[in-house]
């Protein structure tokens, strides 16, 4: 456990030493604030808006997915690829830690960074609350959705960076996997019934819509958690495999 803590702490030092952390955080806030503003402005024109502004922030616009599949590769790409490039992977893999602890440490660091970024959006909830009623239940489930989808995507990013030597390659691999995962939603339009149901169950857009409306569906939760575990397991195995190369 203390080894995982050591890795998380070190990754945090490195995040906040480089400009990457600040650029990612400010772009994230900039884009989300823009969306928040537009959503608020649009809704204030209608007498009875169909959705709460927070619901639109959580997956209601295409910006949500854009930010996710660009930001997560950026915050994960360095974690494994740079260790390989600098050669520090040699001191890391010869330390008394298991490959599992290394992967979990790296995952935890990126995931905490991601959660920190979303924590900043809580300001919007406070703003809304100051001017009117907010359904805290659906806000809460929205954050649950953001957390679970984030964990899934961060695990994809960790897997990509562990298998790459180059940060850009890692970013492109994770971006592509995430884009495909999000793109599964199209099969629900083009396929006939029978095959369609399968894709409805793994449709991330529909999942996020549920979360933002306050619905926590156990199928969605299980899908996202098992996806996270799958990619983390692949990352551990890839790390182990490099000792046999």
Q: Which residues are near another protein by CB under 8 A?
A: 2-3, 5-7, 9-10, 13-14, 17-18, 86-98, 243-245
DSSP assignments along 122-158, one per residue: HHHHHHHHHHS---HHHHHHHHHHHHHHHHHHHHHHH
78 vs 151 by CB, closer to another protein: 78
Identify the residue whose tokens are 């997915």.
Answer: 65
Alpha-carbon gap, residue 215 to 54, rounded angstroms = 14
CB of 81 to another protein, least distance (A): 14
Helices 62-86 and 99-120, axial angle in degrees (round to 10): 140
CB of 83 to another protein, least distance (A): 9
CB of 240 to another protein, least distance (A): 9
Q: Do the beta carbons of residue 72 and residue 114 sit within 8 Å?
A: yes
CB of 8 to another protein, least distance (A): 10
CB of 139 to another protein, least distance (A): 37
Of 194, 245, 244, 238, give the one whose Cα is nearest residue 81: 238
101 vs 203 by CB, closer to another protein: 101
6 vs 144 by CB, closer to another protein: 6
Of 179, 177, 183, 217, give the one whose Cα is nearest residue 199: 183
CA 207 to chain CA centroid, nearest Å: 14
6 vs 29 by CB, closer to another protein: 6
Alpha-carbon gap, residue 107 to 74, rounded angstroms = 13
CB of 25 to another protein, least distance (A): 18
Of 214, 213, 217, give the one whose Cα is nearest residue 225: 217
CB of 74 to another protein, least distance (A): 16
11 vs 203 by CB, closer to another protein: 11
99 vs 203 by CB, closer to another protein: 99
Alpha-carbon gap, residue 49 to 45, rounded angstroms = 9
Q: Return the structure tokens found at 58.
A: 């959580």
19 vs 192 by CB, closer to another protein: 19
């Amino acid at each position: 456990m203390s080894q995982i803590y050591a890795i998380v702490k070190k990754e945090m030092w490195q995040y906040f030493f480089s400009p990457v952390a600040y650029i990612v955080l400010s772009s994230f806030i900039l884009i989300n604030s823009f969306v928040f503003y537009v959503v608020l402005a649009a809704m204030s024109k209608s007498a009875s808006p169909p959705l709460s502004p927070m619901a639109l922030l959580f997956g209601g616009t295409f910006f949500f997915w854009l930010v996710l599949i660009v930001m997560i590769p950026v915050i994960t790409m360095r974690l494994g690829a740079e260790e390989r490039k600098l050669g520090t992977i040699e001191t890391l893999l010869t330390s008394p830690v298991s490959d599992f602890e290394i992967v979990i440490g790296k995952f935890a660091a990126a995931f905490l960074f991601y959660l920190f970024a979303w924590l900043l959006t809580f300001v919007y909830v406070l703003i809304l609350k100051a001017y009117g009623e907010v359904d805290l239940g659906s806000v809460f489930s929205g954050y649950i959705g953001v957390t679970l989808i984030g964990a899934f995507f961060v695990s994809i990013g960790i897997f990509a960076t562990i298998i790459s030597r180059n940060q850009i390659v890692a970013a492109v691999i994770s971006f592509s996997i995430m884009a495909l995962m999000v793109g599964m939603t199209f099969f629900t339009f083009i396929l006939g019934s029978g095959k369609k149901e399968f894709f409805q169950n793994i449709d991330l857009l529909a999942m996020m819509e549920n979360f933002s409306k306050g619905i926590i569906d156990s199928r969605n939760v299980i899908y996202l958690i098992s996806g996270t575990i799958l990619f983390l397991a692949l990352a551990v195995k890839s790390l182990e495999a490099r000792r046999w190369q």
